[in-house]
Amino acid sequence: MRKNLWAKLLERGSRLRHSEAASLFLDILRAVERGDGGLVKLVSFLSALSARGPGLNEVYGMCRAILRSRAKRVNLSFKGEAVQVGRTDRSNISLVNVTTPAAVLASAAGGVVLKCSFKQWSEPNPLELLESLGVNPYMDPKRAVRAAKKLHLLIWSSSISFKWSTRLAEVGEPYLELLEYSKRPLLAAISTSLNPFNAKRAFRGVPDLKLARLVANLFRKLRSKFALIPVGSGPNGAALNCLSNVGKTTIYEVSSKRISRYDVEPEDFGLSRARLEDVRHIESRELRAKVTVEILAGLRKGPLRDLVLLNAAGILYAAGKVKSIKDGCELCTKVISEGEPIKKLASLAKTSGGDVNKLKLFMRY
């Protein structure tokens, strides 16, 4: 059976049905998890798809395989009101960590925010920021459910539910170059289906319009209640995987009835346009944590705070908690002034079984 599917995949002019793609890709993910030649199979599969252009049903089949590969499943849909958040692929500039503080802020403003964090190969671990702040993103499923239900916030490592993601994050030569070349269908499938929570809403930043269209179509095929997919831009060809305060953002909005596309500017939300250098990645792990605390505690204003606030507002809009992103910006500004986000972060550190003392080091104002 598997040989026949491989032959069909490689046959010119042929397409896999979504059930066939799901069966073959699930076999590949399990091989990756076992360390049983899985990376060779994965790169071969993706290269074959990329060489002729992946069909939507084939990538949808990959989504179904990812959902079936969950080792741990937790039902945290919150009657369809929970929103899963994250980003798809890297920005083409070195950007600060936006999604994590934005998730905390959006939850403090009333959203039910869930994040399954995936470390893409050849990039820094995005969970380092959380660990610096005393949060344990590797909590067991029972603790994760308790945290989500108590706080309406969960930021969780993908390695707990999707065991293959750990091996994929560690991929190196000779597969790295081939994986980079053929990554588009894989990242689209991961971004829509790395969802152990059964969340029906989504906020997913994407740095590329073509990839964003694919992600939008996948969310619709997966019958998401609502999804917001921002494609940020900036000067000198900058492409951001979030709502941008340095330039235009193109947004794909997915509902049960249609997919719409529109453009927004920072000024539409009452925000000043920032410079690229104002939102670049902060090298020092300690300084990254300090800046995050200052933003959430209301002690820092300016471009970094505006970028986090804008994306938190987008999350609230995707969660159905506000009527517009502009309303979300106003709500988040109010919540920051009341001190709620930093309290939410402290509660997450405690409830996750992390080291609250780490956070306290940055809270000595």
Query: Residue 169 — very low, low, confident or very high, per pLDDT cuts 50/70/90?
Result: confident
Domains of the chain, first to last: 2-68 (1.20.970), 83-160+198-350 (3.40.1030.10)
String of b and e for 111-144 (b: at least 16 CB within 10 Å)? bbbbbbbbbbeeeeebbebbbbbbbbbbbeeebb
The rounded distance, in Å, linking the Cα atoms of 83 and 306 is 21
Q: What is the pLDDT of residues 239-283, one digit of tens each?
A: 999 999 999 999 999 998 899 999 999 999 999 999 999 998 887
3-state secondary structure at position 131: helix
Lowest mean pLDDT segment, chosen from 45-54, 160-169, 278-287, 288-297: 278-287
CA distances from 331 to 105, 107, 229, 258, 264 (A): 10, 12, 21, 27, 19
Residue 170 scores a pLDDT above 90:
no
Q: Residue for token digits 């990254």?
A: 288
Q: What is the pLDDT of residues 207-231, one digit of tens each?
A: 999 999 999 999 999 999 999 999 9
Q: What is the pLDDT of residues 132-150, one digit of tens each?
A: 999 999 999 999 999 999 9
3-state secondary structure at position 245: coil
Cβ neighbours, 10 Å, residue 217: 18
Interhelix angle 303-318/285-296, nearest 10 degrees: 60
Closest CA to 41 of 53, 30, 50, 52: 30
Residue 356 scores a pLDDT above 60:
yes
The rounded distance, in Å, linking the Cα atoms of 241 and 264 is 15
Stretch 48-57: mean pLDDT, rounded?
A: 93
Q: What is the pLDDT of residues 91-132, one digit of tens each?
A: 877 788 899 999 999 999 999 999 999 887 656 677 899 999
pLDDT of residue 1: 58
